[in-house]
Amino acid sequence: MLNMSLIIVIMFMFGNMIYVSKHKHLLIILMSLEFMVLSIFFLMMMYLMMIEYNMYMLMVFLVFSVCEGVLGLSILVSMIRTHGNDYFHSFNLI
């Protein structure tokens, strides 16, 4: 059980490092965010199984993470339609 928790924490840290270091493309940032959400889901699943609690909270978490993913993809599509690519340097915030 401790080894699985360590693997999940390492997954989260890798996702966090990719999020911080690869800030050029929006798609890579969205993929790293989804990777971090997946590691948090596994951690919550292990914790809820350990305390023998029902898994309804996981379903709510998955619904919110899917909504977050869809919102990110819609922003990506909108950015590609208006600017032609997903580079952040071509996206003017002003």
What is the model's pLDDT at position 91?
Answer: 63
**Structure tokens of 84?**
């032609």
What 3-state DSSP class applies to 93? coil
Domains of the chain (ranges; CATH) run 2-83 (1.10.287.3510)
pLDDT digit string, tens, across residues 10-49? 888 998 898 888 777 888 888 898 999 999 999 888 888 8
Which pairs with CB-CB distance under 8 Å and at least 24 residues apart come from 56-64? none
Partner residues linked to 25 by β-bridges: 87
Chain mean pLDDT for the chain: 85
Q: What is the pTM of this model?
A: 0.81
User: Which residue carries 């899917």 as its tokens?
Assistant: 66
- Helices then strands, counting H and E runs in the chain, come out as 3, 0
